[in-house]
Chain A
Amino acid sequence: MKTKLLTGLLTSFLTLLVILGAFPVCADSAEYTVGEVERLADGIVAYKLEEAGADDVQEWINGSLTDGAGVFSEWYIVGLSQSGKYDFSAYEKALLDYLGEKSYNSVSREKYALALCAVGSSDIFISETAASSIGAQGIMSLIYGLHLLNNGCSSTRTVDSVIDELLALQLDDGGWALWGEYGDIDVTAMTLQALAPYYHSDEKVGKAIDRALALLSERQEQNGGYQSFGSPNPESASQVLTALSALDIDCLEDERFIKNGNTVIDGIKFYSLDDGSYCHVMGGDSNATATVQAYYSYVSYIRMKKGLTPLLVFDYKSVSVTEPVTVSTVTASQVTTASTTSTASTVSVIMTTSTVTANTTSAALSVTALQTASLTQTETVSGQAAVITDNTTVTSIVYSTSRNSSNDGYKVKVIFIIIGAGVVLSIILILTGKRNYKNFIAVAVAAAAGIAFVLFTEIHSADDYYNGEKLHKENAIGTVTMTIRCDTIAGKTDKDYIPENGIILDVTEFDLVEGETVYDILREASRTYKIHVENKGNSGSAHGMVYIAGINYIYENDFGDLSGWVYHVNGITPSRGCGDYKLSAGDSIEWLYTCELGHDLDEVYENENVF
């Protein structure tokens, strides 16, 4: 009896442990840390309020920060505009006055333009800066210029060209620097902040960022902080924190950036003083730069935890009066919706309630229960700017970042759940007295079968799979063209999914990588142009034996017993499966629907001996 009670207690404890283990939700601790960081940021604000003698933030903005426009206010303004809603009109006016006095070098101009963007200004200064300054003064002007482009400023430079130039400047160790052969932490981190929006959408950028992250991880000190030019300081750590947050990496949870249990935030906090400000060197006095950088790095971390955009992609968007913003060039993942609304009568630019709608959009998320576990989490932040003149275009920009692009996350969870279920089942067997060892072998075999099934199936959400993105392969050896046609049945039925002209996919070019087969190209077309394709016999990687049963809902045997899909390459009918046919550059593929086993098409056999 006693042992039974003991077993019961032990097993219920184990069950609890397994259940908790299967769902690794640490929401509590995450909330705590966000709160903690918010407290640190508030501490800095409180310090500055006291220093400026202001009662609240708005007073501080209108007072001390407006007075210091162009001198020391800019980064506080950026941080404040990205952490709450305030009226920056006084500051904006002061800064514009300040800028009117004399001319500045490119990097400074870009910094001021960013500050103006942050407060939602639409002054001509921004577009002039974007048009003239990007890349004019080395790497920093590229970085700030890319930030301007990320915020939808139009320029003579395209995003791709700036990115390419930045990537070309990457050093051998993965970092960036103002000079020399070794990456500097600050410059590397700042470059990452600018490149962050393209982390997932651009493969080249992704690789470069991963290299830089490896460098940052390697150079992190045991206390969590960083050194620059041989001296440990909080500013470098602040830049790294901002960069990681922009890349959607939680520095409190990512193993790469925890040294000895110390995180990057610990590395900054190390330098905090009792009054809330920060010092530059350990034991030194309060330092303005260290304080402001710590402030905006905290803001960027909080924004990341809230699922908002990176620090320097502003909620307030700038709209130039003269030329409409073209954001479509920025990146494929940025969706632009230009809605023409006429707003009138306000003389000065007043940033009224900027609608920050952070609604996790229904389109991307509503699909399946499976998805909720892992997949695309799209946050839409839309910012609006109201502009002076009558009938001006108000452009609202929907900025979407896809997070967690890796698709394998769900597998780990499902496997955990299977293992958990197996353990629970074993416990039930123990409790009910069926303790024969063979029972446990059977449970293990069943769990292994389940895990094998999970490992061998590749599940994508519909939005993720049919992403509509044209692939630009880096190591392409050329291009091939493909067309999908069903001329033989076009117009013969009234089914509306069969195109009347018989063209399902017009002649389209695809990048070709060495070793790609006809099936690979068909699958790519299916994903890019959302064409329905059903294949049979493709399990996992071994797709030599693929048979295409249907394309665009038109199936084999739909139009008689001899009907189905065949493919021609360069007008020749290959006598092997489409998963076996390796293409060479310049090939043209045709997928054709036949009603008579291919005899109604112009057939030329690849190898007459076969038949």
Chain B
Amino acid sequence: MRTFSEFNPIVITVYFFSVTGIAMFSSHPLLMASALFGGILYFVVRNGRSHLRSHLFFLILFLILAIANPLMSHNGATVLFVMNDNPITLEALLYGLNSAAMIIGVLYWFRSFTQIMTSEKLLYVTGSVSPKLSLILSMSLRFVPLFNSQSKKVRASQTTMGLFKDDNIIDDARGRMRIFSILVTWALENGIITADSMSARGYGVCRRSQLKRFGFRSSDLAVLIVDALLLGLTVWAVAAGSLDLSFYPTVSFEAPDTLGICGIAAYMLLVLLPVIIDLEVYFHWRYLRSKI
């Protein structure tokens, strides 16, 4: 009775990379749509109604990515209109939508991934391969939230000193630029200080070891096997060419054969796996509580 995030980090890592890997190396719209849908669904299931602003940001990013493609690529037979002697085509727009779904879907999966994979878990996963690498990874991943909190501090102190005006757009933008430049300076300096501090505490004197505190249970193995089966089926369908389609010059969207349908169904199950596990836990827990 564990939620998906409480499974062994190796299982979680394998799962996330199988989902995003399929999304990145195939181009079938149904796979992209499931990846996007599953990514958003799992993130919302985990976070509820918070992060509304970031959802808006990703929506805008999605639209920009979708529109950018037809403006850059002019391949395709169905011309919508002609801009500066280059055709703007429906196919390029559809391709843009498809790839935007892929990018945003993968981004959402990685948002959940970074929430679940604390640096400790990351160290556990990569530590067996190379403890040095895992240290660097966890330090660099730490950098993003560190940067964020530092920027809040700088902003607060700038406002206190009266250097930051936000009553008009231009001054606001200039203030933000100044904060950014301060942050970059600080980050460079901080890197040097960290290195000095690490060597002062004896980093690199002898070989690194690490503590392993994550067990590998039978349910971990079960999830890993299910994951491998579903992934295998999808990879088979993709590799066999059942889910191939080309966008240019015309979209050749044929109904997939049996193998293709199996592949799509397997991938849909795969993306819903964490949500299914979490729901199972939720209802199980309610059931147990109701008996008390």
Q: Which of A199-225 contact B (CB under 8 A)?
A: none
The yes or no answer to B206 lying at the interface (CB within 8 A) is no
Query: Whose C-beta in chain A lies nearest to the C-beta of B174?
Result: A438
Partner of B81, one of A442, A461, A534, A540: A461
Query: Whose C-beta in chain B lies nearest to the C-beta of A543?
Result: B85
The answer for the CA separation of A533 and B80 in the assembled complex, in Å, is 14
Query: Whose C-beta in chain B lies nearest to the C-beta of A540?
Result: B84
The answer for the CA separation of A405 and B84 in the assembled complex, in Å, is 18
The yes or no answer to A39 lying at the interface (CB within 8 A) is no
The answer for the CA separation of A462 and B86 in the assembled complex, in Å, is 11
Q: Is the CB of A442 within 8 A of B170?
A: yes
The yes or no answer to A306 lying at the interface (CB within 8 A) is no
Residues of A within 8 A of B76 (CB): 532, 553
The answer for the CA separation of A466 and B249 in the assembled complex, in Å, is 17
Query: Whose C-beta in chain A lies nearest to the C-beta of B79?
Result: A462
Q: What is the minimal beta-carbon distance from B73 to any residue of chain A, in angstroms?
A: 8
Query: Whose C-beta in chain A lies nearest to the C-beta of B169?
Result: A442
A367-B81 CB under 8 A given contacts A438-B169, A438-B171: yes
The answer for the CA separation of A442 and B169 in the assembled complex, in Å, is 7
The answer for the CA separation of A368 and B87 in the assembled complex, in Å, is 13
The yes or no answer to A460 lying at the interface (CB within 8 A) is yes
Provide the A566-602 mask, 1 if CB < 8 A to any CB of B, else 0: 0000000000000000000000000000000000000
Residues of A within 8 A of B167 (CB): 434, 436
Provide the B153-196 mask, 1 if CB < 8 A to any CB of A, else 0: 00000000000000111110000000000000000000000000
The answer for the CA separation of A367 and B83 in the assembled complex, in Å, is 14
The yes or no answer to B28 lying at the interface (CB within 8 A) is no
Q: Is the CB of B75 within 8 A of A462?
A: no
Provide the B66-81 mask, 1 if CB < 8 A to any CB of A, else 0: 0000000111110111
The yes or no answer to A124 lying at the interface (CB within 8 A) is no
The yes or no answer to A391 lying at the interface (CB within 8 A) is no
Q: Is the CB of B249 within 8 A of A497?
A: yes
Q: Is the CB of A538 within 8 A of B85?
A: yes
A434-B168 CB under 8 A given contacts A534-B75, A555-B75: yes
The yes or no answer to B17 lying at the interface (CB within 8 A) is no
Q: Is the CB of B249 within 8 A of A534?
A: no
The yes or no answer to B282 lying at the interface (CB within 8 A) is no
Q: Is the CB of A459 within 8 A of B169?
A: no
Partner of A550, one of B75, B80, B170: B75
Q: Is the CB of A553 within 8 A of B248?
A: yes
Most buried by A among B77, B80, B169: B169
Residues of A within 8 A of B171 (CB): 436, 438
Q: Is the CB of B84 within 8 A of A538?
A: yes
Provide the A533-547 mask, 1 if CB < 8 A to any CB of B, else 0: 111001110000000
Q: Is the CB of A465 within 8 A of B84?
A: no
Q: What is the minimal beta-carbon distance from A120 to any residue of chain B, in angstroms?
A: 40
Provide the A136-177 mask, 1 if CB < 8 A to any CB of B, else 0: 000000000000000000000000000000000000000000
Total A-B pairs, Cβ < 8 A:
79
Most buried by A among B74, B75, B82: B82
A368-B79 CB under 8 A given contacts A462-B87, A553-B249: no
Interface range for A = 20 to 34
Residues of A within 8 A of B75 (CB): 532, 534, 550, 553, 555
The yes or no answer to A16 lying at the interface (CB within 8 A) is no
A462-B85 CB under 8 A given contacts A434-B168, A442-B169, A534-B75: no
Q: What is the minimal beta-carbon distance from B88 to any residue of chain A, in angstroms?
A: 9
Q: What is the minimal beta-carbon distance from A480 to any residue of chain B, in angstroms?
A: 19
Q: Is the CB of B81 within 8 A of A439?
A: no
Q: What is the minimal beta-carbon distance from B61 to any residue of chain A, in angstroms?
A: 20
Q: Is the CB of A534 within 8 A of B168?
A: no
Residues of A within 8 A of B169 (CB): 438-439, 442-443
The answer for the CA separation of A433 and B85 in the assembled complex, in Å, is 45
Q: What is the minimal beta-carbon distance from B89 to any residue of chain A, in angstroms?
A: 8
The yes or no answer to A277 lying at the interface (CB within 8 A) is no
The yes or no answer to A103 lying at the interface (CB within 8 A) is no
Provide the A366-382 mask, 1 if CB < 8 A to any CB of B, else 0: 01101100000000000
Residues of B within 8 A of A535 (CB): 85-86
Residues of B within 8 A of A553 (CB): 75-77, 248-249
Residues of A within 8 A of B81 (CB): 367-368, 370-371, 459-462, 465
The answer for the CA separation of A457 and B83 in the assembled complex, in Å, is 6
Q: Is the CB of A368 within 8 A of B80?
A: yes
Partner of A532, one of B168, B170, B249: B249
Interface size on B, residues (CB 8 A): 21
The answer for the CA separation of A465 and B85 in the assembled complex, in Å, is 9
The answer for the CA separation of A532 and B83 in the assembled complex, in Å, is 13
A532-B87 CB under 8 A given contacts A439-B168, A442-B169: yes
Query: Whose C-beta in chain B lies nearest to the C-beta of A439?
Result: B168
Q: Is the CB of B82 within 8 A of A465?
A: yes
Residues of B within 8 A of A532 (CB): 74-77, 87, 249
The answer for the CA separation of A457 and B71 in the assembled complex, in Å, is 12
Q: What is the minimal beta-carbon distance from A51 to any residue of chain B, in angstroms?
A: 55
Q: Which of A409-454 contact B (CB under 8 A)?
A: 434, 436-439, 441-443
The answer for the CA separation of A438 and B86 in the assembled complex, in Å, is 38
Q: What is the minimal beta-carbon distance from A250 to any residue of chain B, in angstroms?
A: 27
The answer for the CA separation of A534 and B82 in the assembled complex, in Å, is 11
Residues of B within 8 A of A458 (CB): 83-85
Partner of A436, one of B86, B87, B168: B168
Q: Is the CB of A438 within 8 A of B74?
A: no
The answer for the CA separation of A75 and B82 in the assembled complex, in Å, is 46
Q: Which of B190-215 contact A (CB under 8 A)?
A: none
The yes or no answer to A259 lying at the interface (CB within 8 A) is no
The yes or no answer to A93 lying at the interface (CB within 8 A) is no
Residues of B within 8 A of A441 (CB): 170
Residues of A within 8 A of B77 (CB): 497, 532, 553
Q: What is the minimal beta-carbon distance from B104 to any residue of chain A, in angstroms?
A: 25
The yes or no answer to A85 lying at the interface (CB within 8 A) is no
The yes or no answer to A523 lying at the interface (CB within 8 A) is yes
Q: What is the minimal beta-carbon distance from A52 to any residue of chain B, in angstroms?
A: 55
A534-B86 CB under 8 A given contacts A434-B167, A439-B168: yes
A459-B80 CB under 8 A given contacts A438-B168, A442-B169, A553-B75: no
Q: What is the minimal beta-carbon distance from B95 to any residue of chain A, in angstroms?
A: 13
Most buried by A among B77, B81, B87: B81
Partner of A459, one of B82, B168, B249: B82
The answer for the CA separation of A436 and B168 in the assembled complex, in Å, is 6
Partner of A442, one of B82, B168, B248: B168
The answer for the CA separation of A538 and B85 in the assembled complex, in Å, is 8
Q: What is the minimal beta-carbon distance from B215 to any residue of chain A, in angstroms?
A: 51
Provide the A454-496 mask, 1 if CB < 8 A to any CB of B, else 0: 0001111110111000000000000000000000000000000
Query: Whose C-beta in chain A lies nearest to the C-beta of B248?
Result: A553
Query: Whose C-beta in chain A lies nearest to the C-beta of B250?
Result: A497
The answer for the CA separation of A533 and B87 in the assembled complex, in Å, is 8
Q: What is the minimal beta-carbon distance from A458 to any residue of chain B, in angstroms?
A: 5
Residues of A within 8 A of B168 (CB): 434, 436-439, 442
Residues of B within 8 A of A443 (CB): 169
Q: What is the minimal beta-carbon distance from A475 to any residue of chain B, in angstroms?
A: 22
The answer for the CA separation of A555 and B73 in the assembled complex, in Å, is 11
Most buried by B among A370, A436, A458, A461: A436
Q: What is the minimal beta-carbon distance from B220 to any residue of chain A, in angstroms?
A: 46
The answer for the CA separation of A438 and B172 in the assembled complex, in Å, is 10
Partner of B82, one of A436, A461, A538: A461
Partner of B87, one of A437, A534, A555: A534
Task: Show 5 residue pairs from A and B whose CB-CB distance is below 8 angstroms, ordered by the A residue.
Answer: A442-B170, A459-B83, A466-B79, A466-B82, A532-B87
List 5 extra interface pairs beyond A439-B168, A553-B75, A553-B248, CB under 8 A. A459-B82, A461-B82, A465-B79, A532-B249, A534-B74
9 shortest interchain CB distances as A-B pairs: A436-B168, A553-B249, A462-B79, A442-B169, A465-B82, A534-B74, A438-B168, A438-B170, A460-B82
